[in-house]
Amino acid sequence: MRPAEIERISVRQAVDRYVELVRAKTVTGQFSPATAEVYCRDVQTFAELAGPERVLDDLDGADLDAVLLAFARRPDGRRRRDARAEEAARPGRASQSAASQARFRRSLSVFFRHAVTAGWVQLDPMRAVTVSARDRGGLRAERRALTAEQAGGLLAAAQRMAASPSTARRRDQRTELRDALVVVLLTTVGPRVSELTRANVEDFFVNDGERYWRIFGKGGRTRDVPLPRPVAALLDAYLAEGRPLLDRGVEPKALLLSWRGRRLARGDVQAVIDRVLARVEPSRRRAVTPHGLRHTTATHLLAAATDMDAVRRVLGHSDLSTLSRYRDELPGELEAAMRIHPLLHERRR
């Protein structure tokens, strides 16, 4: 139920209250810490772009259009410096990806729906937004999943990295086995990046000769995912040879450690992927994010006619409708499907 009167608070005050509410919801399990972090970061960016001292209820659709445009041009801090410099040299082009822009817009929509209920605004200004994707830089959501050739090149590079001698001067800074394991797990098992960095050594176990990973996912749900044998072998090599070099006794449970001996941070995972990508031959190389590798897992399992419910359980989705968003088109898959059309081939006797 909405309050009878509108409380004319500043953008900064509204954002601070909202952030406090979102963080409180992580305690009750309504939001995962990763989801809460994204919402909080986006609304704090909104306050910076909209003007923290402005009255929230004074913002209209034109103001939100300006915020969306400003966010689209905002440099992406996750990208390498050379990439940001190249973007800066192209004025008028969007720096944020289409996925980041869509996520930011969703975060603002959720924020303003709460603002209406809380009595901070009379009307939701997001309903009056008119700026289009073309205005924001013409970006369209691209296929996130790697093709079989691209994914094969990435996995081959990871295996070569695991097998090659380290170039690090200090023995305790050798991370090749760890980097290879990160990329192989992301590409073949498709965990969320938060699930990967939260993983502990004790989460991996053997049952009836099969290696499993107990993944602690969203909403307190867990799933036991069997690891393919090459992945299990790489995991064992890392635990026996790679992790002991990084272990400083600071994080005795964490699976993935930085060279300082602390749990690998979510923000470090993209840098790990980029290091492995640098070893992929250029003809098979394509930039990809951790979430893009999750799409890759889903897409190729489904393309191989794996049962949809099994893929859902591997990825940790609560229902099949979510899985459909992770299925990207692959080059040549329609042609392959029509070549083996079941109605045009004689039945085997």
**What is the phi/psi pair of residue 133, to 5°?**
-60, -35
Structural domains of the chain, with CATH: 11-128 (1.10.150.130), 148-337 (1.10.443.10)
Distances (CA, A) of 277 to 63, 95, 139, 255: 40, 21, 24, 22
Query: What per-residue confidence (pLDDT) applies to 120?
Result: 95
How does DSSP classify residue 190?
-
Query: What per-residue confidence (pLDDT) applies to 296?
Result: 92
Global pTM reads: 0.64
**What is the phi/psi pair of residue 186, to 5°?**
-65, -40
Amino acid letter at 210?
A: E
Query: What per-residue confidence (pLDDT) applies to 173?
Result: 77
Catalytic residue among 178, 192, 198, 312: 192
Query: Annotated catalytic, 317?
Result: yes
Grouping H, G, I as helix, E, B as strand and the rest as coil, residue 183 is helix
Q: Kind and range of the H or E element at 153?
A: helix 148-163
Query: What per-residue confidence (pLDDT) applies to 89?
Result: 40
Query: What per-residue confidence (pLDDT) applies to 272?
Result: 95
* Torsion angle in degrees (nearest 10) through CA of 220, 226, 230, 232: 60
- What is the distance between the alpha carbons of residues 109 and 67, in angstroms, rounded to a whole number? 13
Which tokens hold the place of 179?
Answer: 């980097």
Question: Which of 93, 166, 163 minimizes the C-alpha distance to 134?
Answer: 93
Catalytic residue among 54, 218, 279, 313: 218
**What is the phi/psi pair of residue 248, to 5°?**
-110, 5
How does DSSP classify residue 327?
-
- What is the distance between the alpha carbons of residues 20 and 30, in angstroms, rounded to a whole number? 14
Which tokens hold the place of 276?
Answer: 């492995």
Query: Annotated catalytic, 238?
Result: no
Give the residue ranges of the chain where pLDDT is below 50: 79-92, 138-142, 348-349
Question: Which of 255, 291, 250, 251 minimizes the C-alpha distance to 273?
Answer: 291
Catalytic residue among 198, 243, 294, 300: 294
Query: What per-residue confidence (pLDDT) applies to 132?
Result: 66
Whether the Cβ atoms of residue 181 and residue 238 lie closer than 8 Å to each other: yes
Query: Annotated catalytic, 326?
Result: yes
Q: What is the 3-state secondary structure (H, E, C) of 201-254?
A: HHHEEEECCEEEEEEECHHHCEEEEECCHHHHHHHHHHHHHHHHHHCCCCCCCE
Query: Annotated catalytic, 25?
Result: no
Whether the Cβ atoms of residue 298 and residue 327 lie closer than 8 Å to each other: yes
Residues sharing a CB contact under 8 Å with residue 231, sequence separation 6 or more, in sequence order: 184, 185, 188, 189, 211
Amino acid letter at 145?
A: A
